Each structure stands twice: as structure tokens, then as C-alpha cells.
Structure 1
Amino acid sequence: MTNTHAAAADGAEPPQGPPAPNHESGTGGAGGKTNPAEGRVPTTHPHPKTHRTPDGLDAHLVVNRTTFRLDIKLTAAPGDVVALLGPNGAGKTTALRALAGLVPLTAGHLRLDGAELDRTPPESRPVGVVFQDYLLFPHLTALDNIAFGPRCQGATKAASRAQAAEWLARMGLTEHATAKPRHLSGGQSQRVALARALATSPRLLLLDEPLAALDARTRLEVRAQLRRHLAEFEAVAVLVTHDPLDAMVLADRLVVIEDGRAVQEGTPSDIARHPRTDYIAQLVGLNLYKGHADGHTVRLDIGPAITTTEILSGPAFVAFPPSAVTLFRDPPTGSSARNHWRCEVAGLETHGDQIRADLTGELPLAADLTTVAAAELDLHPGAPVWATVKATQTHAYPA
């Protein structure tokens, strides 16, 4: 095991900032903080190894607190990127900290590549963490920030710096090698933190809201770069986010967490098409209802019936986008829509280049329309309207 003193003994300055990683890990136990660490690279060439272990991640995370209980199962094969998605307070960060060993498990298990990690201290786990504030050492250059991990694993100062230089080149940051964190942009800092993590070769990479601190333009660019690096990463990566776009773009599989439990799991496309909770439906921009299907009709648990094109029997969900809703101020005549409800405008807000109307009444729903259409209909809170949706624009699936 190496520590900051061992690293300093060979010429590296011990950090004055976040805690040092152990020889196999990017995590550190002091103050509940964790150093970024990720990736699997050879000592001299930062390219992914071809060998893969068949094990990956097998976790049942149970954490009991006074007013909260986390109880979720996570499995992932090497090379998988899993996103934990959910609202604030759902338990995403608790799950990440439990994987890192910063929060002890109350029950369950945590296995990585077949090894039990339940009682392994954080600094001894082959786990790397990249936090949204990056935790770069302020007194070290970008090169030395990246070299710090290999240095703590026992590599010589020269070898660590050579490896760090290759990672800087891979990240497109060679010209910033001598820059300290205060002189780096948010996107550059994120890439340095990612490179520092990759240089330590963890078997589990944890990313906590890695793009949250970036502005919109930088976020787009860094997201594309992060996607490329995650595609090359051959161990397991777990991404925590509340941003559905980050999750959809970066992850192979999503695990949606609400109130400490997993409520839905699947590929991004499957979850986007088949939401099973109101939270997920709002994330992907759909009106979602639950009821009982009988042929082409789904009679809602609370509300009217909806006609669909699918033929189902039994408990079912039915969903449609706000753009599928057409509004009228008077009862529609001559409309081919099979579904129509009397509603009232509860609120209006700008949604992209359109107006989103929040409707109450026979069926609470959201409707999108152009600014011109909203003006022509003289929409305002309290205005009565009729809402119609064609059966062909609905999607029904078993509950």
C-alpha cells in the first residue's frame, strides 16, 4: 500500500487538497471525499486492454437511515455503462457512495469481478470516482494531477509523468500540461479529472453528475468526448445523473430510482417508449395514464377511457406526447380524433419554441402548440377548451 508519504519520498509533493488514492483505487476516506479515478490503460500507452473479465458488478445495496431506506440491485458486465437516474433525494448519490465504500451497507452484498468488497475499505477498492466538482489538486499542474494516481500506485515519477502526458494528449490537452486548475475552463477541468481517473485503472468507475458544472455549449462538447471515452472503457462504469439527456446519450442501460428503490430498468429507448411512473413520463415528455385495457379501449383508473390502436387486455399504461394534443375553444366538429375531453387551462409556459398548456378537467394533460395558435385560441388560465387526440398517436402497453 502506498500513501502520500511514500509518494513524496520519491520526489512527488504530497497533496494539500483532497485525500490520496490507494495503490488500486481513486477513492480516499478522509472527509468522505473521493479522488477521481477511472479507466484501464497500460503503463506506457493509454489504450484499452483487450482482456476482459467475465464478472463485472453484482450488487445489492441496502442502506438504512433514520428517515430513508435504499434497497436496489445493480448488475453490469465489463464494458457496460449504467446510469442511475432519478429526482433529488431518490437515493442516487447514496448508491454511488455505497459502491465507493464511503457509506456502509446495512445489508445486501457488493461483488466486483467475483471479489467481495462489502468490508473492503474505500482506499483498497479498485474503484474510481469523478465528482461534479472534479476535486483537482489546486497546487498541482494538469500533468501532475493526472500523474498523481499512478504515482500513488508505486510508479516512478518519470513513468507517472509519461503516462500522464499520454493521457493529456488523448484528451486534447497537451498545451495545458503546465496549467494549474484555476487556469482551466470547466470543460478542461472535467477532462483532466477524467484522465486522472483513467490513469489508475479501476475496475469500477463512478461518475457523479460529471457534466452538471458545465455551461450548455461546453456540456455538448464534453458529453460527446465522455461518450467516446466510456465506449473505450472495458470495466464497469456507473453514472449518476438527474439529466435524462446525459443518461440517454452516455448509458447502455438506465436504472430509474425513486424513493430508494428501482422503479424501472432497461435500455434508453425502451424506457423512453414505455415509461412506468409519472416522473419518467415527465422526463421523456409524455402524458402517461394507467388503467384497464379491453381491446382498443383503456379505461383509466381515475378519469375517462382512451381509445388506442393496440389491442390489450388487463392492466395497461397509455401514453402520448403533448404535441399529439389538438385544442379547440368550442366542441370539435368534423374531427377524426377518437378521443376528446373537456378541459380548462391551468397554466401556460414557454417550452422551447412552443407554448405548453397545462390542462385540468376530464383528463389532466399537457398540450404543446405554437405561439400563434395559442394567441388565436385566446388561451389564458381559466379558459375552457376541448382537447382531442387521435388513437393513432397514443401508445398502449401492459402495466
Structure 2
Amino acid sequence: MPNSHPAAADGARPPQGPPAPDLEPVTGGTGGNPVPAEGRSTRPHPTPTSTPAALEAHLQVAHPHFRLDITLTAAPGDVVALLGPNGAGKTTALRALAGLTPLTDGHLRLDGTDLTRTPPENRPVGVVFQDYLLFPHLTALDNVAFGPRCQGASKAESRARATEWLTRMGLADHMTARPRRLSGGQAQRVALARALATNPRLLLLDEPLAALDARTRLDVRAELRRHLAEFEAVAVLVTHDPLDAMVLADRLVVVEHGEVVQEGSPSDIARHPRTDYIARLVGLNLYKGRADGHTVRLDSGPTITTTEMLSGPVFVAFPPSAVTLFRDPPTGSSARNHWRCEVAGLETHGDQIRADLTGELPLAADLTTVAAAELDLHPGSVVWATVKATQTHAYPA
């Protein structure tokens, strides 16, 4: 895994003077065997086509105050996003896949090969770290050529492959630039090119857009999605940003407290959240209760009327935009659901005001600044919240 470095195993940056790509070739790369330069194409291929990529991993890592225990599987071409709050175990999982954190138990198989005890440098894995970890004294070209050079490719072939990848990334005019002369988006693309230049069978991306400003993030996200769509092996993305996950990944794996709490397609996760964390991510009010026909008695006491006719344990969700607020008990509203609440807080949410409400049913409500002013909302205000049954969504728990 040429994109890693022994110093990176404990979170440190690589030293300022790694072997430059024009030194003698070294043994390394996949399986630890030299890769002969003769007869190899200089055209970059995201993955070899002889063996289909497949990831099968059961990652168990035990720390004194934390335990990771998750299972991951991925088919060729899959982009899987590990999503979860800080401290959930996402980065530990990524480091375990890279070999930087040893497994306490479990296994890791890639393309049918057991990599559980394989050292990081011998794994067919490319990594794009959160802050990219580009070698500061090397040009963009030599940063990308470093990986193939470590795999045993000649200086000429390594640079030819690096040139191809940087051109594909739209960086043909920046090959001689050192990292300090690159913008955040350019540095991110150099790091991605460096990871892909080694033809990895598993690509790991640790918060790849976190270091970018909002405008650059928008552009680079679109570019990254295009490159991942072309990647034929397995890619695993770690992020806490739901938009990055929804846009970049084919499948989401939500991790909380070291365990998988939900997984599925982005649309399924957004439609059927199963924890408060996921509901907040996708912007929904979520409750759990027991259904009897169209009525759901929540665990916290109140009831919600829904259009779905169900029986037994269920979740009920609705967006903050479905909530209408009144200062007095509503008399002409057609909404079947209404609760007496108190404003706990107000904050700007895009071009609207989000009200945090407590009382009979804790919930979030979105309203315009004009509506908030007309209602004279402030912390401590008593309001009535209504939601139409047609705007709720109930599904089995």
C-alpha cells in the first residue's frame, strides 16, 4: 500500500525526506514481490481485469473503552460509505482495512485472498487520507510516481503512469508543482491519483472532502463521483457528512458505538431511518411506537395518526417542514395530529427558521422568517404543532 507510510500508522505525517521515485526500485506492492517493468503498459488502469474484486470483512478491534465489531461486504464496482457520528468507529474500521490497526479477531478477504495478517505495505490497497499526506518536497508528478516506483516499476514507467493519471485528473499543467503551491481541490486530486496509480483492489477514502471550503467541495465532490464511477474494484468511503455519502456511495453502512445499526441504499436509508442519529442526518422527526390500524401509540405516550394501516412495533417519521405552528389551539385545521409544545430554541436553517420544540411531543419545525415573526416565537413560547396524517410515514420497526 504505497500510499501509506510507517509513520502514518500512529497518525503522524510522513517524514520530510522519503525515498524519491528516481532511486533504485524496491520490493513492495501486492504480495511483496517485485513488479517487473518490462512489458507493462504505461496506460493507467483503475483495476486489473483478471480477477473480480470482492470484499469480505469481519472487523473486530478491542480497545480498553471501545470495541468495533462490524461486517462489511462489497461487490466489484461498489462504493460503500461508512457513516456515523464522531467516535462511532468509522476511522478504526478504515485503518483496520488498510492494515494500520491490527484486528483483535475476525478476517479480511479481498478477491478471495486472506489479507488478515498481511502487512500494510503488501496489501493491494490505496488510501486517500483526510489531509492527503502528500510528500511536501516532491512535485505532484513524483508524488504520484512514488507508489508505482515502490512496486518495482522503472523510473520512466512510474512517471509515465503518473503523467497519465494527473492528466485524467485535469492536472496536466500542475505536474511540477509542489503541494504548497496546490489548492485544496488540486491536492485532493493528486492524492487520489497517487492512490489509483498503484492499481489498488481496494480504495479507502478518509473524509476526502473535509479539508475543502464549501465552493471547492461542491466541484470536487462531482469530480470524485465521476472517478469512483469508473473505478472497477471496491471503494470504501468514511464520512460524517450525509450529503457526501448520499452523492458518492452506492450503499451506506451506518455505524454507531462500534456496530452497524443500518445499511442499505441512500434512498432506503433516507426513507426509513431507524435511529435518532440517522433521522437527524436526513432531516426527519422520528418516533417509535406500536401501531393499531391508523393510530400509533408512541413509547413516550402521545399518539400519531398515519395513513398506513399497520399493527405492532413501528417507526413514524415526518419532516420538520410538515409541521405547522399556531399560538392558540387550532380550530379550523384539517390536521389529525396536534400537540401542545414549548419553544426550546430557534436557529437559522438555510433560508428558514428551525424551531426546537419540547412538550407533549418533542420535535423540530421549519418555518419562514416571516411566519416566525408573526407568531412572535422566542424560547419559552407556548405553541400548538399540527401535522397532517398524509405527511407522516409509518413503517415496521
TM > 0.5 fold call: yes
- Mapping of 1:101-180 within 5 angstroms? 101-180=99-178
Check if 1:58 corresponds to 2:69. no
Relative distance call for 1:393 and 1:329 in structure 2 (3 A) is: same
Relative distance call for 1:13 and 1:348 in structure 2 (3 A) is: farther
Amino acid of the residue matched to residue 29 of structure 2? H
Q: SS state of the match for residue 178, structure 1?
A: coil
State how far apart, in whole Å, the 2-side matches of 1:21 and 1:268 are: 41
CA RMSD for the aligned pairs?
2.2
Q: Is the 8 A contact 1:52 1:234 kept in 2?
A: no
**Aligned equivalent of 1:255:** 253
Relative distance call for 1:346 and 1:181 in structure 2 (3 A) is: same
Amino acid of the residue matched to residue 180 of structure 2? R
Q: SS state of the match for residue 238, structure 2?
A: strand
**CA deviation after TM superposition for structure 1 residue 51, in Å:** 2.5
**CA deviation after TM superposition for structure 1 residue 47, in Å:** 4.4
Amino acid of the residue matched to residue 277 of structure 1? T
**CA deviation after TM superposition for structure 1 residue 163, in Å:** 1.1
Amino acid of the residue matched to residue 98 of structure 2? A
Check if 1:12 corresponds to 2:18. no
State how far apart, in whole Å, the 1-side matches of 2:106 and 2:27 are: 26
**Aligned equivalent of 1:206:** 204
State how far apart, in whole Å, the 1-side matches of 2:390 and 2:178 are: 57
Relative distance call for 1:25 and 1:299 in structure 2 (3 A) is: farther
Amino acid of the residue matched to residue 103 of structure 2? L
State how far apart, in whole Å, the 2-side matches of 1:249 and 1:186 are: 20
State how far apart, in whole Å, the 1-side matches of 2:278 and 2:50 are: 34
**Residue from 44, 47, 68 that aligns with 1:46:** 44
Relative distance call for 1:79 and 1:21 in structure 2 (3 A) is: farther
Q: SS state of the match for residue 30, structure 2?
A: coil
Check if 1:22 corresponds to 2:33. no
**Structure 2: gaps (5+ residues):** 7-17, 33-39
**Residue from 362, 373, 382 that aligns with 2:371:** 373
Q: Which one is further off, 100-109 or 322-331?
A: 100-109
Relative distance call for 1:246 and 1:231 in structure 2 (3 A) is: same
State how far apart, in whole Å, the 2-side matches of 1:199 and 1:89 are: 31
State how far apart, in whole Å, the 2-side matches of 1:263 and 1:376 are: 41
Q: Is the 8 A contact 2:321 2:367 kept in 1?
A: yes
**CA deviation after TM superposition for structure 1 residue 55, in Å:** 5.2
State how far apart, in whole Å, the 2-side matches of 1:50 and 1:203 are: 8
Q: Is the 8 A contact 1:52 1:78 kept in 2?
A: no
Relative distance call for 1:194 and 1:10 in structure 2 (3 A) is: closer
Q: Which one is further off, 48-57 or 178-187?
A: 48-57
**Aligned equivalent of 1:39:** none
**CA deviation after TM superposition for structure 1 residue 53, in Å:** 3.3
**Residue from 320, 329, 332 that aligns with 1:331:** 329
**CA deviation after TM superposition for structure 1 residue 48, in Å:** 4.3
Q: SS state of the match for residue 194, structure 1?
A: helix
Relative distance call for 1:163 and 1:375 in structure 2 (3 A) is: same
Q: Is the 8 A contact 1:24 1:200 kept in 2?
A: no
**CA deviation after TM superposition for structure 1 residue 23, in Å:** 1.9
Q: Is the 8 A contact 2:292 2:312 kept in 1?
A: yes
**CA deviation after TM superposition for structure 1 residue 159, in Å:** 1.1
State how far apart, in whole Å, the 1-side matches of 2:233 and 2:19 are: 30
Give the paired residue count.
Answer: 377
**Aligned equivalent of 1:308:** 306
**CA deviation after TM superposition for structure 1 residue 303, in Å:** 2.6
**Aligned equivalent of 1:36:** none
**Aligned equivalent of 1:390:** 388
Amino acid of the residue matched to residue 171 of structure 2? L
Amino acid of the residue matched to residue 187 of structure 1? G
Relative distance call for 1:202 and 1:354 in structure 2 (3 A) is: same
Q: Is the 8 A contact 1:168 1:195 kept in 2?
A: yes
**CA deviation after TM superposition for structure 1 residue 44, in Å:** 1.9
> Structure 1 length normalisation: TM-score?
0.91
Q: SS state of the match for residue 193, structure 1?
A: helix
Q: SS state of the match for residue 355, structure 1?
A: strand
Identity %: 83
Amino acid of the residue matched to residue 261 of structure 1? E
State how far apart, in whole Å, the 1-side matches of 2:329 and 2:371 are: 17
Q: Is the 8 A contact 1:25 1:127 kept in 2?
A: no
